[in-house]
């Protein structure tokens, strides 16, 4: 049975991939809601990883949001790319090893200490290296920000290094694609064409990505074999679908 699924994603291209993949896993044409945080006064944090994190932090009660609007939202998928855990200091503000006066007092996105003024050290010693460590940290961070009573109908997905890796996995015979940094720039947009599809410069285009999204869905099984994050996402989507089936009974 078709579901209503809210997606909080870094951007429209990630949203397209999530939609196509969830339809593939569920075997249904679901209804999707593109959930976004409000931007701040300077127009920031409306999207990107900061927008996703801000959405989690500022959503007062996700269960009320899901239940109190009709048609109700059956599940919420929250996506953030793994590269931010590798690259961004703010992500590690709240980690045990970080010693900082502002820790816990200011939401990291609003902290005034940047660059050298920021005491965060990356790579952060508090997490395992590798894909599992990145996924674990990303999920934990978003989950803490969300402060949900339970995450029964929430799925966190941290594609590594980004959802672009799933595109490469769908098209190319490459192993360990999750360990490649920035697969968009280094693989997909390296030339003007990618598998016969024109790629316009370094900017991601939603029309191009709609084609990629269909390919990812078509080759989803292969993608899950090559990408741990995809496999975890597959399992998580199946879990919430099973949950909603149980509730429906």
Partner 1 sequence: MSELKLKKISIQNFKSLYNVSFEPGRVNVFIGANGSGKSSVLEAIGVLSASMTDRVNSNSLQRKGVRLSASSLYKSKFLSIEKESKTVDFSVSWGLDYHNYEYINHLTVPNEDDSWKYFAESVSCDGETVYGRSNRTSAQLNNKIGYFTISESLSAKEYSNAAKYIGDYGIYQPDTLTLRGTVADPMQINPIGLNGGRLAEAIQDLIHEDNGDCMFGTMYMEDMLELIDWASEFKVSKPKKTILNPSVPTTQQIIEFKDRYLKDTASFTGYDASEGALYVLFMLALAMHEKAPKMFAIDSFDHAMNPRLARKVAEIFSNKIIEEDKTVFITTHNPLVLDGLDLSNDDIRLFTTERNKYGHVEIRRIQVSDKLIEMNQPLSRLWINGVLGGVPELL
Stretch that binds partner 1, among 62-70, 118-126, 180-188, 236-244 (CB under 8 A): 62-70
Which residue's CB is nearer to partner 1, number 16 or number 237?
A: 16
Q: Report, in Å, the least distance between residue 155 CB and partner 1.
A: 17
Please tell me the total number of residues recorded for the chain in this structure: 249
Half-sphere exposure of 55 (CA within 13 A, CB side): 24
Q: Does 93 bind partner 1 (CB under 8 A)?
A: no
For residue 76, list its beta bridge partners: 6, 154
Based on CB atoms, which residue is closest to partner 1, 60 or 112? 60
* 165 close to 178: Cβ distance less than 8 angstroms: yes
Cα–Cα distance between 139 and 72 in angstroms, integer?
24
Give the residue with the Cβ less far from partner 1, 32 or 166.
32
Helices 164-171 & 12-26 angle (0-180, nearest 10): 50
* Bridge partners, 194 (sequence order): 197
Residue 40 touching partner 1 (CB under 8 A): no
By CB under 8 A, is residue 16 in contact with partner 1?
Answer: yes
Closest contact distance (angstroms) between CB of 117 and partner 1 is 33
User: Residues 145, 206: contact at Cβ < 8 Å?
Assistant: no
34/179 with CB nearer partner 1: 34
Q: How far is CA 111 from CA 90, 174, 216, in A?
A: 9, 40, 38
Which of 53, 93 has the CB closer to partner 1?
A: 53
Q: Please, what's the largest Cα pairwise distance for the chain?
A: 56
Give the nearer residue to partner 1 in terms of CB position, either 40 or 68: 68
Residue 8 CB, shortest distance to partner 1, in Å, is: 9
Q: According to CB under 8 A, which residues from 206 to 245 bind partner 1? A: 206
Where do we find the tokens 């699924």? 5
Question: Could you say whether residue 60 binds partner 1 (CB under 8 A)?
Answer: yes
Which residues contact partner 1 (rule: CB under 8 A)? 6, 12, 15-16, 29, 31-38, 60-61, 64-65, 68-71, 73, 206
């Amino acid at each position: 049975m078709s579901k209503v699924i809210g997606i909080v994603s870094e951007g429209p291209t990630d949203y397209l991939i999530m939609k196509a993949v969830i339809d593939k896993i569920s075997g249904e044409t679901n209804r999707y809601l593109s959930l976004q945080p409000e931007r701040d006064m300077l127009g920031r944090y409306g999207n990107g990883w900061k927008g996703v994190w801000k959405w989690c932090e500022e959503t007062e009660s996700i269960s009320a949001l899901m239940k109190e609007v009709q048609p109700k939202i059956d599940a919420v998928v929250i996506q953030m790319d793994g590269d931010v855990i590798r690259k961004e200091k703010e992500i590690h503000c709240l980690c045990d090893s970080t010693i900082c006066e502002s820790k816990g007092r200011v939401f990291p996105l609003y902290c005034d200490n940047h660059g050298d003024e920021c005491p965060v050290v990356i790579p952060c010693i508090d997490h395992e290296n590798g894909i599992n460590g990145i996924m674990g940290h990303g999920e934990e961070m978003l989950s803490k920000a969300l402060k949900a009573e339970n995450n029964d109908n929430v799925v966190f997905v941290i594609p590594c290094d980004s959802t672009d890796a799933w595109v490469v996995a769908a098209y190319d015979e490459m192993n360990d694609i999750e360990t490649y940094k920035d697969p968009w720039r280094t693989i997909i947009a390296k030339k003007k064409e990618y598998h016969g599809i024109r790629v316009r410069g370094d900017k991601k285009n939603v029309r191009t990505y709609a084609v990629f999204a269909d390919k990812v869905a078509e080759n989803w099984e292969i993608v899950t074999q090559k990408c741990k994050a995809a496999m975890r996402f597959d399992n998580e989507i199946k879990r919430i679908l099973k949950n909603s089936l149980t509730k429906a009974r």
